[in-house]
Amino acid sequence: MSRTVSKTLAVIIALAVIAASCGNDDKTAADTMAGVTITLVTHDSFVLSDSTLQAFTAQTGVKVDVLTSGDAGTMVSQSVISAGNPLGDVMFGIDNTFLQRGLDADLFEPYVSSGLADVPDEFELDPMHRVTPIDFGDVCVNYWIDALDTAPPVDLADLTDPRFADSLVVENPETSSPGFAFLLATITRFDDWEGYWADLTANGVKVAAGWEDAYYGDFTAGGGDRPLVVSYASSPPAEVIYADPPVDTAPTGVMSDSCFRQIEFAGVLKGTSHPAAAQALIDFMLTPVFQNDVPLNMFVFPVSSRATLPQVFVDNVSVTDSPLTLDPATIESHRDEWTARWSEIVLG
Amino acid sequence: MSKAARALTVVVPAAFIVVFFAYPVANVLSTGLAGAGWRAMADLFRSSRERGIIWFTIWQAAASTIITVIVALPAAALVAGLSERHRRLVRALVTIPFVLPTVVVGGAFEGLFQRFGLDSGTFRLEATVWAILLAHVFFNYAVVVRTVGSFWAGLDNRLEEQARLLGANRWRTFAEITLPRLRPAISAAAAIVFLFSFTSFGVILILGGPRRATIETDIYRFAVTRGDLTTAASLAVVQLLAVICLVVLATALERRNPLATRQARRATRRPGRTWLWGNIAFTTLILGTPIGVLVERSLSVGNGYSLSNYSALTHRVRQLPAPALAAVGHSLVFAVIATTLAALIGGLASLVVVHGRRALSRIFDLGLTLPLGTSAVTIGFGILITLDEPPLDLRTAWIMIPIAHALVGVPFVVRTMVPVLRGIDNSLREAAAVLGATPARVRREIDLPIGARGLVVGAGFAFAVSMGEFGATSFLPRRADTITAPVALFRLLSTPGATMRGQAMALAVVLMGVVALAVAIIESARGSTEGGL
Amino acid sequence: MLRVESVTVRFDGRAAVDDVSFDVDDREIVVLLGPSGCGKSTLLRAVAGLQPVESGTIVSDGTDLANTPPHERGIGMMFQDHALFPHRNVGQNIEFGLRMQRIGSADRARRVEEMLDLVGLPNFESRSVGNLSGGEAQRVALARALAPRPRVVLLDEPFGSLDRELRDRLVDEIPDLLRRIGISAVHVTHDHDEAFAIADKLVVMGDGHVLRSGRPLEVWADPGTETAARFLGHRNIIDVGPRGLVPWGNIDMDAGRVVVLPDAATIVETRQVSAIAVASILEADVVTTRFRGGHHEAEVVTPDGSTRMVFLLARPPAVGERVTLALDESRISAID
């Protein structure tokens, strides 16, 4: 027995040592950029064309390891509990609904990227520049055009109309990011948002645990019986690109006047040993190479005015000029109160 | 050599569990409760909502366990009566549900509810506790069938024959002769099912409807959504205490009256025709229907059926950093490492549980089972803040993923192997000792080969658990270049568009196939050592 | 060569084996005979080192085995129900002890073949032990115990689970085989016929104690205690009244009990009676007779119905016949 055991033990130890050395950049090396590998901490939805990060490496000599951590909420929580000894060098994907929590935990080093010149001011939510806006997405009610026997809703207020009784599925704001964003939309839009949700409940709104569950379980797209769903402004182009059989125009439409805007930020994580390389990556995220690659991969919109949208986005999305927004500090300070209130009204 | 071997038998599993579970969990709990410990706990028990959640968590897990055991016992009987080859096949097939992500199964169930009008009206299942129980039966069926079925196959059925000759009918014989002897295996399986249901996450959220919450989902809610680590940590403590009580209870049941099995001398009985087909029909209904829905969805393309969703898995789509099949490859590598680790650690630990001193045995039994009943958030965050410095800066290393899988796999190995080891007729060990085998040699020559029957069953579970990424790893960061199949599946599923969904379903079906095949291969490994059993 | 001296084993304070001593000489077969629960199996396990001893010593070839673990004692043992390793075939079972001694595979194979020939199961090497009949399993278990050439082998109720015919055959074969290879053995049984057939030396145990030990014939003829007498199969246990009063007169002893051996009686003709001391003449009615091959077993009862005895008689009496029996006083022995 002992021989097998000690052999296996040796293998485990060896693996652990190798793994440890992989996971741990050489922190004593001088912070010259070329040859440096930095780690980008992001959420599960992060994806780019292969060529994009290769272009960054070609430009700067910096290699990027991508570390994904579940949804945005999980990513922020992970970073908050490991504050001071960060999981990587740069974070991408913290949005305005979680931003304040990241700022409160002092996760980021301030950095003013030169690329900000091309970014409209409305996206810059942190005056201290601890985070840099990279992209945005609008959480909107989507409808399946053919499943509606009446004119589509145009405003949040329409959803309480009996025409849309038992038609809408939303995500639980306690467990879903778009669900929470939609709650924020109603809070921004209505002074008596509680009354609004009471009406929605009376009108038969259904609550699903998460987006996948709502979109593919209850919404028409997955064979469900609800023609209205809380999704994104960018969902229709996805329905075109990934349609089967192929279609020219999206089967879904967007109620674009009542969208809550989620802005995704990137920031240099405090404690990085490669600040120069990390800053270079932030800069790169605002260049057209990165910005143009974002829509088709992550179905979000670039913030840079220099970016060009793919045709399928141009054809199928109209980005609202007047999105609903809320200050991140307000969101963070009221989150528990609002979701608890929502639960009482909707779930009883 | 024998002393060193014995020391290693204890030290290796102990070190594993302390480094990767006990210390990280203790660390995250003490961090979460720092300064607010008792107050936070008191607040928790003062809140009627939280008390309700704790109570619901316990009773739904208990109900899931009872129903699963009752529903799956007939199939375990069937498995016990089959020839070894067929037994292996059935055992491999019932493992399939294990790898299916709950979001996929939840979708399949909801599709079924809608199709059969069970989503509203008198017989509404959707968003009820019945949907939760049904899903728990679906996921845990294999635990009972495999654990109890394998143990049953090793029982000497001359006792049953004797009882029948003495005039007991089939049911009396089962109730009075078979059931008491199956108790160690049943309580082992029940403990696993309970822990599984106790920490169930996706099933509760997706199938239970938005009103349902358990300790597990609430830990997530407080830790992740609200960022309230103190409340999350108090809930985690409650969870841990409940699990400790349960495991202690289960262990007591398993130990009471350990019935040594003499050399099994059973002719493989050909089960009655009605029995056989009735059972197959029932199993197919329970396990097959949701799986059938998935297969159907994976094949449906446009308005017809084709394999194009499957062929698409070989190409990279934008949503994934690699082709989906490469993700299956990563999952396989992780699963092989996790299974090896779980078999090694669990195998050694089982020996300690069975042969170690009383106190040591109890501690091992408890300590190695706890990860199964501990929130994925607790484990994930614990590792994150604990294994964060050299020489053990493993929190972002790829090896951490299979290690965390092994953490959940070990309890399966221990729970399936211990009853088998306890069932070994002690005179076999004595015979070996008298023939000149040292105590360590006795373990190697008698316990390990015979215990292998339990070991492979447990290892099969460990493999499936790893492929399906149950718990533990959900809250660990991972390297994008080693994306696993379940994560790839989620990504496909989180993009609108029929092809993405079709590919996600195809990927789920591939996962099922890979697991069934792998489990069959793992279990055939013991064919050579099994001999007359 | 093996000496058990004042060995005591306790379970929860109760002595299962209480101050037991006996010797096993070279090439001697010692049988421990006793009812189940008398401590004989426990004693055997103590000798093998499987059961800790509270006091007393077990000495093998002059060495005290107190601190020798079972695997170093070099003692062979055959278990109740054989304890064959289910995960190994016949050959692998037999060679197990040889492997423990690090004997090379060629030598092992040779020895396995030799042992299988010895126990009469040639070419059984690759059989699965699950498919052996009871007698075959028995022989394999014996071959396994003997393969490592122990100097002494312990046999724990080895024939317990076998049918009578097979058991009778093995009761003949096994002592033969043990004597042929010149090994000492300690054999545990609760069957006195088996014990008489096998034993060079008999140790009768009851309730943890040695009741009697010695050569089988001596022990049988003079069991010493009533328990031992009953256990050895004696049925003629007679109360003796004051001044040696017995149903057939008086014998030369004080009040107590005697055992009348079954071969003590001879049927005599009434006219011969005068030639014999009247004191040893018993009149009795025959209740049953049974032919036992070679002699007849008859149960008789005294005319007043007070005493029943069983005797082996050369001439078959008829049931219901009144017979006159002469009792040989040397075949009557006092018991406690």
What digits encode the pLDDT tens for the residues C20-66? 999 999 999 999 998 888 888 899 999 999 988 999 999 998 889 98
- Nearest-5° angle of CA B432, CA B436, CA B440? 70
pLDDT for the residue numbered B2: 63
- The four Cα atoms B469, B472, B475, B479 give a dihedral, to 10 degrees, of -50
Mutation site, A201, A244, A247, A296, interface B, largest B CB count within 10 A: A244
With CB atoms and an 8 Å threshold, state whether C129 touches B532: yes
293-312 in chain A: CB under 8 A from chain B: 296-297, 299
- The four Cα atoms B468, B474, B480, B482 give a dihedral, to 10 degrees, of -40
d(CA B33, CA B234): 7
d(CA B12, CA B7): 8
Give, as one character, the DSSP assignment of residue C293.
S
3-state secondary structure of C206: strand
Share of chain B above pLDDT 70, in %: 94
Using a CB–CB cut-off of 8 Å, the residues of C that contact B are 45, 48-50, 69-77, 79-81, 83-89, 96-97, 100-101, 128-131, 144-145, 148
- C308-313 β-sheet, strand order: C265-267, C322-327, C281-291, C296-301, C308-313
**Residue B419 to chain A, least CA–CA distance (Å):** 21
Which residues from B are below 8 Å from C51, CB to CB? none
With CB atoms and an 8 Å threshold, state whether C86 touches B438: no
With CB atoms and an 8 Å threshold, state whether C81 touches B263: yes
Q: Look-up: residue for tokens 């009990």?
A: C257
For B432, the closest of C75, C96, C148 (CB atoms) is C96
ipTM rounded to 2 decimals: 0.85
What digits encode the pLDDT tens for the residues C116-152? 998 889 999 999 888 888 888 988 999 999 999 998 9
For A1, the closest of B5, B499, B502 (CB atoms) is B5
d(CA A73, CA C231): 82
Mutation site, B495, B505, B507, interface A, largest A CB count within 10 A: B495
**Residue C160 to chain B, least CA–CA distance (Å):** 15
d(CA A191, CA A274): 47
Phi, psi (5° rounding) for residue A203? Answer: -85, 5
Q: Is B263 on the interface with C (CB under 8 A)?
A: yes
* Chains in contact with chain C (at least 3 beta-carbon pairs closer than 8 A): B
With CB atoms and an 8 Å threshold, state whether C50 touches B436: no
Instruction: Look at residues C131, C147, C134, C142 and name the one whose alpha carbon lies nearest to residue C89.
Output: C131
pLDDT for the residue numbered C275: 59
Please check whether residue A124 is in contact with residue A133, taking contact to mean a CB–CB distance below 8 angstroms: yes
Q: Which two tokens stand for residue C195?
A: 């014990």
Q: Is A222 on the interface with B (CB under 8 A)?
A: yes
d(CA B417, CA B346): 8
3-state secondary structure of C132: coil
Which residues from B are below 8 Å from C84, CB to CB? 263
Mutation site, A37, A49, A174, interface B, largest B CB count within 10 A: A174
With CB atoms and an 8 Å threshold, state whether B450 touches C88: no
131-190 in chain A: CB under 8 A from chain B: 172, 174-175, 180
Q: Is B428 on the interface with C (CB under 8 A)?
A: yes
Please check whether residue B295 is in contact with residue B455, taking contact to mean a CB–CB distance below 8 angstroms: no
For B262, the closest of C81, C96, C128 (CB atoms) is C81
Distances (CA, A) of C137 to A17, A20, B281, C31: 52, 55, 42, 22
**Residue B164 to chain A, least CA–CA distance (Å):** 44
Task: Name, in order, each residue with C-beta under 8 angstroms of B308's C-beta and a sequence gap of 6 or more.
Answer: B301, B502
With CB atoms and an 8 Å threshold, state whether A216 touches B501: yes
Has residue C249 got a pLDDT over 90? no
Which of A35-39, B528-532, C300-304 is predicted least confidently?
B528-532
Query: What Rg, from alpha-carbon coordinates, does chain C have?
Result: 24
With CB atoms and an 8 Å threshold, state whether B495 touches A17: no
With CB atoms and an 8 Å threshold, state whether C86 touches B264: yes
pLDDT for the residue numbered B264: 46
For A67, the closest of B210, B229, B479 (CB atoms) is B479
pLDDT of chain A, 348 residues: tens digit per residue = 444 545 555 555 555 545 444 444 444 333 467 889 999 999 988 999 989 999 999 999 999 999 998 888 899 999 999 888 999 999 999 999 999 999 999 999 999 999 999 999 999 999 999 999 999 999 999 999 999 989 999 999 999 999 999 999 999 998 899 999 999 999 999 999 999 999 999 999 999 988 988 998 889 988 888 999 999 999 999 999 988 888 888 999 999 888 999 999 999 999 999 999 999 999 999 999 999 999 999 999 999 999 999 999 998 888 888 899 999 999 999 999 999 999 999 987
* Chains in contact with chain A (at least 3 beta-carbon pairs closer than 8 A): B
pLDDT for the residue numbered A24: 44
Q: Is A326 on the interface with B (CB under 8 A)?
A: no
Q: Do chains B and A touch (3 or more CB pairs under 8 A)?
A: yes
Closest-CA residue of chain B to A67: B479
Mutation site, B30, B216, B318, B389, interface A, largest A CB count within 10 A: B318
DSSP states of B45-91 as a string? HH-HHHHHHHHHHHHHHHHHHHHHHHHHHHHHHHHHHS-HHHHHHHH
Strands C75-78 and C332-335: unpaired
Q: Is B424 on the interface with C (CB under 8 A)?
A: no
Which residues from B are below 8 Å from C71, CB to CB? 433-439, 441
Mutation site, B434, B450, B453, B455, interface C, largest C CB count within 10 A: B434
Label residue B531 by pLDDT band (50, 70, 90). Answer: very low
With CB atoms and an 8 Å threshold, state whether A22 touches B206: no
d(CA C280, CA B434): 55
The pTM for the full model equals 0.83
